[in-house]
Amino acid sequence: MSEFLITHIGWSKKGQKYLPVLEWFRLDNHEFQKVELDKFKNFDFTKQSSKKFCIGYYDELEGKKPCPRLKLIDEKYERCFECEEKNQLKSILFFGKTPTTQGLKNYFNSEHLVYLAYFEPNILKVGTVNIKRSELRLLEQDAQAYVFIARTPNAESAWKLEKYLSKRFGLTTAVQSKTKFSTITLKPNLDKIKTLLNQKTNEIEKNIDENYFEFLLTSKNINSFFQNDIIFYPETLPKKMTKASKIKGVFKGLRGNYLILESEQNYFAYSKKDLVGYRISYV
Ligand SMILES: [Zn+2]
């Protein structure tokens, strides 16, 4: 029996493959570990308490760092105040602060992509991602298909373009988690989605303000994770297991904010929010 603090649940690229992973901080030797979720044939996690802990921060140069004091936090947060300041991504993204560490400066001054992504039912979203993360960001969000439409030299110009495209072409910049969950069983109709994405990219190409023209990509390929069997589509809507203290079952897939397990021929969905920041033990 070992004890861990879950710090992240998401996707990782290994060679050409995308894998769902869980990252945790070992409380015995204070090391971060990344575990492939597929390796858990049988999940059997027990939450040690309902207390939530700070997950530490990430620095481009230093890498992942644990919270210096392993602080207790309110369940609506991910980090304590100090770690959030160091992590900074949030304050830069939402409050327009300028990056202070060299790692963050490098991150924000590197190339970004602007994408259109499709979500059920019939939702087109515009978003931005650092070029190093590209597809991972789309998998994390559970996008059903996507096309990269522009490349910018830094984060700021990508955000500016995103804002412009959203307003000018009526594209949303966020899709609600409950919308994604309610359509989790739907396998995408790729022909229909491709038509929709093609129409939108053509409309953008024809009507975009000429100031943004230089950023547009000349070849735009529509991709879907559906084609590569990366995404798990349950046949029935999973039962949401809010605040469960036992996480038990066979790993089936990661869909947006939910980890899906199967137990006695039923599907159960555990929200990342109820797992990340909690101490667990497993057999
Ligand atoms: Zn902290």
- Residue 259, domain member (yes or no): yes
Same domain, 140 and 130: yes
- Residue 99, domain member (yes or no): no
CA distance 249 to 263: 5
Mean per-residue pLDDT for 188-197? 96
Same domain, 44 and 132: no
255, 232 contact by CB (below 8 A): yes
Mean per-residue pLDDT for 39-57? 91
- Residue 197, domain member (yes or no): yes
Same domain, 269 and 215: no
- 94: pLDDT strictly greater than 70: no
- Residue 56, domain member (yes or no): no
**pLDDT recorded at residue 18:** 92
Average pLDDT, the chain: 92
Distance 58 CA to ligand 1 centre (A): 11
pTM for the structure as a whole: 0.91
9, 22 contact by CB (below 8 A): yes
**Total Cβ atoms within 10 A of residue 169:** 15
- Residue 96, domain member (yes or no): no
If one counts the domains in the chain, the total is 2
Mean per-residue pLDDT for 241-265? 94
DSSP symbol at 211:
G
The per-residue pLDDT for range 157-171, each reduced to its tens digit, is 999 999 999 999 999
Distance 55 CA to ligand 1 centre (A): 6
Selected residue with higher pLDDT from 255 and 90? 255
- Residue 54, domain member (yes or no): no
Give the model's confidence band at 1: pLDDT under 50 very low, under 70 low, under 90 confident, else very high. Answer: low
The per-residue pLDDT for range 116-138, each reduced to its tens digit, is 999 999 999 999 999 988 999 99
Q: Please, which residues have CB less than 5 A from ligand 1, an ion?
A: 54, 67, 71, 80, 83
What 13-22 contacts at long range (C-beta under 8 Å, 24+ apart), as own/partner pairs, is 13/135, 13/136, 18/135, 18/136, 18/139, 18/225, 18/228, 18/230, 20/253, 20/254
Same domain, 11 and 24: yes
Same domain, 212 and 122: yes
Mean per-residue pLDDT for 183-206? 96
- DSSP bridge partners of 125: 117, 172
Same domain, 124 and 21: no
Mean per-residue pLDDT for 60-79? 89
Same domain, 110 and 208: yes
- 35: pLDDT strictly greater than 70: yes
Same domain, 230 and 258: yes
For residue 98, give the amino acid letter. Answer: T
CA distance 175 to 155: 21
CA distance 124 to 169: 10
Q: Which of 54-63, 112-121, 146-155, 215-224 has the lowest mean pLDDT?
A: 54-63
Nearest to 259 by CA among 2, 5, 3, 11: 11
**pLDDT recorded at residue 58:** 84
- DSSP bridge partners of 9: 22
Same domain, 233 and 208: no
Distance 77 CA to ligand 1 centre (A): 11
Distance 102 CA to ligand 1 centre (A): 20
Distance 86 CA to ligand 1 centre (A): 9
**Which domain covers residue 7, as residue numbers?**
1-49+224-283
Distance 79 CA to ligand 1 centre (A): 5
Same domain, 246 and 204: no
- 255: pLDDT strictly greater than 90: yes
For residue 26, give the amino acid letter. Answer: R
Selected residue with higher pLDDT from 234 and 3? 234
- Residue 231, domain member (yes or no): yes
- Residue 169, domain member (yes or no): yes
Same domain, 112 and 208: yes
CA distance 192 to 225: 16
- 267: pLDDT strictly greater than 80: yes
Same domain, 230 and 248: yes
Distance 64 CA to ligand 1 centre (A): 12
